[in-house]
């Protein structure tokens, strides 16, 4: 473990950074800050668009049937392009592609939605003729929203995980990561709080403007912010390659990461999968990400259903979700303050175990609230109070879930990749983040779609999240338990190999 005795006790815990390292830490923190800011702005927008237009059930449908094929297609394109572009140019191409779509949406697709989407009457007729496909037809009726959801959903995978954290793992040593990753996360997490504040202000702008569609003005402000910060990220990334990676104190290897394209070993996605599958170490990491994604997806969709009942208006919904993001950002900054110290002071498994335990306890509380509604909602006067209780129990649960995920879970996952060889570090991370995360989300969504369909078919009445809560609770408990067991097994493997000692 790297010596930190030259720092004061408090600085050694909260900010174990040497003064000369600020040249590297500050620009990287800025990129992480902008990426997280954009992620949470886009996340709240996509949920507001789809949930208020179609319903929370549509999230499960999109994540099951639309996001996985899109993720695979994006991954194939990303793999092919990465064989032909330097890492620096690959970052520009990836980020530029996402931002271009969001600009197209706000300037063309959303203003012309009444012209590019089928009419409400035609969608209603199709839903009447084919009731089993009602949700699919509803999404076709607002297909630009579904497309926006897909791009926003994949932002975290291709911009945060593949573009930023893979780059970080390439230019950081393990002992250095134990000191600086916590500080980076702390500086970056400030973006979560600010994105919540910006989203809240933009969502309530309707009170200051007079127009037929105040939500369009909100979109102009939010997507404009995403565009500007993305351009700034590209400029900073260029500066890092020119002034940080050429400094031997920060990167002392003969070649810059991914600089010589002609030397890259080209491989198919299938070959990459075979390389990863042979590694038991990476398989365990994939399983951890998969289990987290299933649990998070179930909790989040159930909670968003309850939020939509209380806040059916799109601006009100986005305002509430922005306030949630602000609260989560404040909490996560407090959690991140101690993250690096925990990993330096204790074994890897201690920090890695905190997230599943928090998710397990919070999930139990949320599902008990849902189940309690079925027994206590006999009185009409209690319905609003019970729904409000569910919303705020879910708010606390999801705030803790996301706060610990962005600190302990993400840091433990990223640290675990550093000791791997270059091939597993790149391919293993790509497969873990794309397939483990995305297919975990899809698996959780698929279970919800299946449960809703089965309960509807058996009862003859359209099922709701309340009617499938008990079954989803069992799935959640099973997956969370497997997650805890998997952390124990991976920690034993890590300790035996002394890779993260």
Query: What would the pLDDT profile of 470-479 be if each residue is shown by its tens digit?
Result: 899 999 999 9
pLDDT at position 359: 92
**Where residue 267 falls among pLDDT bands split at 50, 70, 90?**
low
The answer to whether position 5 is within a domain reads no
pLDDT tens digit sequence for 167-219: 887 787 766 776 777 777 777 777 877 888 888 888 887 667 667 788 888 99
Q: Is residue 277 part of a domain?
A: yes
User: In this structure, is residue 262 part of a structural domain?
Assistant: no
C-alpha to C-alpha distance for 155 and 182, rounded to whole angstroms? 22
How many structural domains does the chain have?
1
261 domain-assigned: no
In this prediction, residues 332-340 reach a mean pLDDT of 73
Using left for φ > 0, alpha for ψ between -120 and 50, and beta otherwise, residue 55 falls in left
Give the pLDDT score at 445. Answer: 82
> Which carries the bigger pLDDT value, residue 142 or residue 163?
142
pLDDT of 263 > 70? The answer is no
Predicted confidence (pLDDT) per residue in 418-449, tens digit: 666 666 666 677 777 777 777 888 888 888 88
pTM of the model: 0.72
Give the pLDDT confidence score for residue 3 in this predicted structure: 47
Q: Indicate whether 339 belongs to any domain.
A: yes
Residue-wise pLDDT tens digits, 111-128? 999 899 998 889 889 888
> Can you tell me the distance from the alpha carbon of 315 to that of 327, in angstroms, rounded to the nearest whole number?
18
Are 275 and 423 in contact by the 8 Å Cβ rule? The answer is yes
Give the 3-state secondary structure of residue 208. coil
Kindly report the number of other CB atoms within 10 A of residue 323's CB atom: 16
Q: Give the mean model confidence (pLDDT) for residues 30-39.
A: 91
Q: How confident is the model at residue 499 (pLDDT cuts 50, 70, 90)?
A: very low
CA nearest 474: which of 371, 334, 337, 345? Answer: 371
pLDDT value at residue 112? 92
For the chain, the 3-state helix, strand and coil shares in percent, each to the nearest 5, are: 85, 0, 15
Answer yes or no: is 384 within a domain. yes
CATH number at residue 382: 1.20.1250.20
* Residue 150: inside a domain: yes
86-107 as b/e: b if 16+ CB within 10 A: bbbebbbebbeebbebbeebbe
| Domain range enclosing 413 | 18-256+267-497
Angle, vertex CA 75, rays to CA 161 and CA 420, nearest 5: 50
7 assigned to some structural domain: no
């Amino acid at each position: 473990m790297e010596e930190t005795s030259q720092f004061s006790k408090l600085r050694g815990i909260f900010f174990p950074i040497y003064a000369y390292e600020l040249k590297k830490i500050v620009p990287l923190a800025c990129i992480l800050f902008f990426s997280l800011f954009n992620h949470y702005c886009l996340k709240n927008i996509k949920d507001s668009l789809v949930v208020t237009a179609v319903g929370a059930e549509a999230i499960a449908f999109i994540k099951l049937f639309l996001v996985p094929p899109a993720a695979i297609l994006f991954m194939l394109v990303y793999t092919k392009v990465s064989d032909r572009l330097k890492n620096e140019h690959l970052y520009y191409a990836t980020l530029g592609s996402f931002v271009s779509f969001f600009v197209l949406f706000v300037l063309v697709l959303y203003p012309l939605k009444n012209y590019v989407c089928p009419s409400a009457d035609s969608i209603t007729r199709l839903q009447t003729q084919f009731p089993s496909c009602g949700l699919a037809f509803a999404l076709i009726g607002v297909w630009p929203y579904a497309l926006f959801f897909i791009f926003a959903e994949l932002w975290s995978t291709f911009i945060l995980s593949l573009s930023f954290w893979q780059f970080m793992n390439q230019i950081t040593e393990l002992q250095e990561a134990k000191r600086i990753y916590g500080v980076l996360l702390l500086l970056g997490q400030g973006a979560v709080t600010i994105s919540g504040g910006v989203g809240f202000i933009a969502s309530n702008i309707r009170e200051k403007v007079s127009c037929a569609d105040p939500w369009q003005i909100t979109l102009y402000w939010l997507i404009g912010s995403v565009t500007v910060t993305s351009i700034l990220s590209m400029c900073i990334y260029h500066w890092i390659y020119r002034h940080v990676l050429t400094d031997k104190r920060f990167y002392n290897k003969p070649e810059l990461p991914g600089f010589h394209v002609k030397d890259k070993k080209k491989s198919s996605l299938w070959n990459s999968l075979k390389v990863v599958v042979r590694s038991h170490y990476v398989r365990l990491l994939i399983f951890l990400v998969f289990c987290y994604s299933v649990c998070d997806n179930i909790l989040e969709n159930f909670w968003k259903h309850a939020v939509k009942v209380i806040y059916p208006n799109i601006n009100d919904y986005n305002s509430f979700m922005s306030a949630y993001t602000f609260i989560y950002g404040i909490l996560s900054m407090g959690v991140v303050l101690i993250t690096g110290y925990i990993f330096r002071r204790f074994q890897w498994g201690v920090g890695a175990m905190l997230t599943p335990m928090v998710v397990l306890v919070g999930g139990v509380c949320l599902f008990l609230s849902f189940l309690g509604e079925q027994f206590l909602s006999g009185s009409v006067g209690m319905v609003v109070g019970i729904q409000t209780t569910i919303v705020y129990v879910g708010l606390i649960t999801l705030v803790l879930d996301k706060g610990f995920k962005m600190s302990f879970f993400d840091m433990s996952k990223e640290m675990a990749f550093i000791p791997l060889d270059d091939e597993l570090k790149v391919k293993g991370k790509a497969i873990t983040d794309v397939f483990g995360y995305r297919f975990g989300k899809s698996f959780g969504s698929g279970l919800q779609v299946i449960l809703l369909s089965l309960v509807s078919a058996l009862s003859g009445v359209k099922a709701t999240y309340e009617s499938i809560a008990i079954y989803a609770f069992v799935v959640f408990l099973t997956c969370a338990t497997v997650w805890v067991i998997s952390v124990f097994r991976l920690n034993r493997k890590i300790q035996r190999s002394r890779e993260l000692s």
